[in-house]
Amino acid sequence: MEFSQVISITLSPDGKLLASGNALSELRIWEIPDDFLEKRKSVSEIINTELDLQKNGYFDPENLEDARKRVITSIVRRQGQSKFRKTLIKTYNCQCAITGCNAEQVLEAAHIIPYLGSDTNHPTNGLLLRADIHTLFDLYLITINPDKMTVEISPNLKNTPYSDLVGKPILLPQNQDYKLNKQALEQHYQLFCKKQNSL
């Protein structure tokens, strides 16, 4: 297609002319399929749904079924989490078991063996941890040596402020009824070691 004068046009999604004028370069026109608007609407709906799910933190674009499981897991987890956290705050005298931080606002109830239902919300399967330490613990970048009850870190954290924690004894519960479950600590430690060996 050739033009005697090259122009610029802008169309709305429904095909209405929005603007026109002189173009700075040549314009090429391709045929627009008849079902363009119908497909555009369905794509738009999918994108809006995806953005809404991502905003609410319940969407894994790789697995839609995973999104439903995450919503249910999140609800179930919250039902017992408050009591679990309160128990750990009392058990650890409102201090992070690893850092000693006593800012209650950043202290979280961490599961040694990941949450698998209300049975895992037991204080012997819990540590009160500062939020960043909790994340690193869940990612197996920080662990507790179950024999020495001291902190170990991943080589990935070696040149970070977290390296100051290496070998530090953890704060243990005063109440012997809430003594840490050694089997749970051993399981976490083994998974930590396995992850480090795979690096």
Note every long-range contact of 46-50, with CB atoms under 8 Å and residues 24 or more positions apart, other chains counting: none
Residue 47 lies in a domain: no
The arithmetic mean of pLDDT across residues 19-48, rounded, is 54
Q: What pLDDT was estimated at residue 52?
A: 62
Residue 23 lies in a domain: no
Q: What pLDDT was estimated at residue 133?
A: 96
The arithmetic mean of pLDDT across residues 31-59, rounded, is 55
Residue 10 lies in a domain: no
Q: How far apart are the first and last CA of the chain?
A: 58
Residue 1 lies in a domain: no
Greater model confidence, 44 or 149: 149
Q: Which residues contact 199 (CB under 8 A, 6 or more apart)?
A: 154, 155, 156
Residue 52 lies in a domain: no
Query: Residue 31 pLDDT more than 90?
Result: no
Secondary structure letter of residue 135 according to DSSP: H
Number of domain units in the chain: 1
Count the residues in the chain: 199
What count of Cα atoms within 13 Å lies in the side-chain half-sphere of residue 78?
A: 6
Which range, of 44-48, 97-101, 175-179, averages the lowest pLDDT? 44-48
**Cα gap 174→170, rounded to integer Å:** 12
Q: What pLDDT was estimated at residue 16?
A: 60
The arithmetic mean of pLDDT across residues 49-74, rounded, is 56
Tokens of 87: 């128990």
**Cα gap 80→70, rounded to integer Å:** 16
Domain span at residue 137 reads 84-197
Query: Residue 103 pLDDT more than 80?
Result: yes
**Cα gap 188→146, rounded to integer Å:** 9
Q: Which residues contact 44 (CB under 8 A, 6 or more apart)?
A: none
Residue 151 lies in a domain: yes
Q: Which residues contact 164 (CB under 8 A, 6 or more apart)?
A: none
Query: pLDDT for 120-160, tens place per residue?
Result: 889 999 999 999 999 999 999 999 999 999 999 999 999 99
Q: What pLDDT was estimated at residue 81?
A: 81
Cα–Cα distances (Å) from 110 to 103, 115, 137, in that order, read 16, 9, 8
Residue 64 lies in a domain: no
Residue 18 lies in a domain: no
The arithmetic mean of pLDDT across residues 157-185, rounded, is 95
C-alpha closest to that of 94 among 122, 135, 128: 128
